[in-house]
Amino acid sequence: MRADWHEQVAVVTGAAGGLGAALARRLAAAGARVALLDRDGAAAEQLAAELRRAGLQAQAWACDISEQPQVQQVFAQLEGQWGGVTLLINNAGIAARALARDCRAEVVRRVMAVNYFGAVHCTEAALPALLAARGRIVVISSVAGFSPLIGRSAYAASKHALHGFFDSLRSELQGTGVAVTLVCPSFIATGIEAAALGGDGRPLARRRDVSGGLASADAVAASILHAAARRQRLLLPSATARAAYLLSRLAPALYETLMRRRVGAEFS
């Protein structure tokens, strides 16, 4: 990995915790200069300081990626400090947990603003440098990006939108040397579900997760960086994700039945 990431300029959004923090730690350990973007600037700075104390290169920026002017300002500052981005990891995301009939449109818009438009904003800001460097874009999607997910229609919509945009972008970038990797994990041991919004837009009072075992954020991060190094188009980082991908295509009705049994009880 060191040969791939040493002295490269990597941006990780949603880097203060969970999968983003795991990615940032691995990239910094591999010699990359890591820009940690997170709405929680204090938490991002805490991680950046930890990495710097270990002799690694990391800087933190407080940034709400749903706000394009903030994104443009951060990327301009980053280029002035370290030069152009060579690896962009669009990881930041939020979840909403409610049946579609109980989920207000404003909640759907908020999820789309962060999960979809946030990735679009960062990609637009980074693309000139990525083209110059023949760099890499990694997009953290989900099994919900290619299949239905009961009680998370807003989240699934945002992840489906990522696939439409970035699959099309990959086609447009053919021949430029810029790689686009879509990552579709199942449930990971991060805080996104615990911090999910309810259908009324308020944080849920408690976590109700009946989805089964959770993957380790560090293990998923390792597989993501391996796929990015290989410029892989799609990563399904677990047996569950691979099974979901195949079954949702080959037998969609059966997939929906199994998914309702596994996840739907949360809303019964």
In the annotation, is 116 catalytic?
A: no
Q: Which one is the CATH code of 2-267: 3.30.365.10, 3.20.20.140, 3.30.1240.10, 3.40.50.720?
A: 3.40.50.720
Residue bearing tokens 């080959």: 250
- Among candidate residues 71, 90, 92, 87, the one with its CA nearest the CA of residue 27: 87
Q: What was the pLDDT predicted at 122? A: 99
How many angstroms separate the CA atoms of 246 and 142, rounded? 14
- DSSP output for 135-150: -EEEEE--GGGTS--T
- Among candidate residues 3, 16, 241, the one with its CA nearest the CA of residue 142: 241
**What pLDDT tens digit does each residue of the chain (268 aa) get?**
444 899 999 999 999 999 999 999 999 999 999 999 999 999 999 999 999 999 999 999 999 999 999 999 999 999 999 999 999 999 999 999 999 999 999 999 999 999 999 999 999 999 999 999 999 999 999 999 999 999 999 999 999 999 999 999 999 999 999 999 999 998 765 566 667 888 888 878 655 554 556 778 999 999 999 999 999 999 999 999 999 999 999 999 999 999 888 887 777 6
Residue 216 · residue 174 · CB < 8 Å? no
Distance from first CA to last CA of the chain, Å, rounded?
46
Q: How would you class 6 by CB atoms within 10 Å of its CB: exposed for 0-12, middle for 13-18, buried for 19 or more? A: exposed
Domain regions of the chain by residue span: 2-267
Find the catalytic residue in 116, 155, 245, 255: 155
